[in-house]
Amino acid sequence: MNREADSDADRRFDSAHAEDVVADEVRDTNPVCYRSEAPILRTECISLSFGGVRALIDVGFDVLTGEILSIIGPNGAGKTSMANVISGLYRPTSGRIFFKGQDRTASSPQAVAALGIARTFQNLALFRGLTVIENILVGRHLHMRTGLFAGGIHWGPARREELENRRRVEEIVEFLNLTEYRTRAADTLPYGLQKRVELGRSLAAEPAMLILDEPMAGMNRQEKEDMVRVVVDANVDLKTTIILIEHDMSVVMDISDRVVVLDHGEKIAEGDAETVRQDEAVIRAYLGQDA
């Protein structure tokens, strides 16, 4: 391939790398003791079409228990489509999805959530007017038998359940350093904090696996640093397997155990961050984006 193109691509990756937003102590405290080679999720030959648009073409990869797997690729590559297929929002045109060994290709989003997969969306999706606490409490609905915000006076099991849910929400608020904002209307907070509340809501479900669709998009450097730390903490402390869709290469390079690269709906590379960074097809795909 073209030499000039090659060096351009190197520069792109290098300059991305230069802006290193991950503190060393975050990386260095990342233990591997609970990681296993067993896939928690397996996707096999996933295709998805919208009329004539082929959003995904025979994409397959494993997500190992306990890892941070990043999905990268240029705009329109199929990353969000893959998140939608895994979370049950879209039914693939063909292919199969296994979660914890169970075929759940045809499961509804509700069933997928009940199995232990949570996600955040590429666009902010908070409930306007609800406080931080209330927004995160919404994420507890899987663990509620008595309904959200059940008002009035109730005793016995319903009361105990509500107290337990509120206790868990307060733990998450603390975990995410949102204590000082807990009773603020979430939609009045700065963007970076709103994204953190959204993450809190997905963590409230206590998922085994979390899919984050560009959680740092539009953030300033400080907000990104904070978000990276929280994502790594969720992985390490809460032992949550993470699929991270992210455009910021410095973040991807620093916190991913493995990376899957999509381009025009196809998987063009998979491996550890360094291998993928040097992959010719990947470099070409990113250059194509600029063309």
Ligand X SMILES: Nc1ncnc2c1ncn2[C@@H]1O[C@H](COP(=O)(O)OP(=O)(O)OP(=O)(O)O)[C@@H](O)[C@H]1O
Binding site for ligand X (CB under 6 A): 50, 53, 55, 73, 75-81, 122
Least gap, CB of 71 to ligand X (angstroms): 8
Amino acid identity, position 259: V
Q: Per-residue x/- mask for Mg ion, residues 81 to 120, rule CB under 5 A?
A: ----------------------------------------
Q: Indicate the residue among 30 and 122 with the shorter CB distance to ligand X.
A: 122
Q: Which is nearer to ligand X, 13 or 181 (CB)?
A: 13
Distance of closest approach, residue 147 Cβ to ligand X, in angstroms: 32
98, 128, 146, 177, 246 from 133: Cα distances, Å: 33, 13, 18, 12, 27
Q: Per 3-state DSSP, what percentage of the chain is helix, strand, and coil (rounded to 5)? A: 45, 20, 35
**Are 132 and 173 a contacting pair, CB within 8 Å?**
yes
Cα(77)–Cα(74) distance, integer angstroms? 5
In 10 A of CB 28, how many CB atoms? 8
**Which DSSP helix (H) or strand (E) runs through 157?**
helix 157-175
| Measured distance CA(7)–CA(177) in Å, rounded | 42
Task: Using the rule CB under 5 A, give the single segment among 74-82, 157-165, 234-242, 250-258 that binds Mg ion.
Answer: 74-82
CB of 27 to Mg ion, least distance (A): 26
**In angstroms, rounded to a whole number, what is the distance separating the alpha carbons of residues 119 and 198?**
9
Query: With respect to ligand X, which residue has the nearer C-beta, 50 or 191?
Result: 50
Q: Which partner from the list ligand X, Mg ion, none does 183 bind, CB cut-off 5 to 8 Å by kind?
A: none
Q: Which of 80, 202, 235, 240 binds Mg ion (CB under 5 A)?
A: 80
Give the span between the Cα atoms of 154 and 146, in whole angstroms: 10
Q: Give the separation between CA 194 and CA 186, rounded to whole angstroms.
A: 6
- Least distance in Å: CB of 75 to ligand X? 4
Residues β-bridged to residue 62: 42
Q: Which two tokens stand for residue 215?
A: 């959680």
CB of 261 to Mg ion, least distance (A): 14
CB nearer to Mg ion: give 30 or 49.
49
One-letter amino acid at 29 equals T
Q: Which is nearer to Mg ion, 89 or 138 (CB)?
A: 89
**Minimum distance between the CB of residue 143 and ligand X, rounded to whole angstroms?**
30
Residue 50 binds which of Mg ion, ligand X, none (CB < 5-8 A, kind-dependent): ligand X
184 or 247: CB nearest ligand X: 247
Residue 43 interacts with Mg ion (CB under 5 A)? Answer: no
The residues that touch Mg ion, with contacts defined as CB under 5 A, are: 79-80, 122
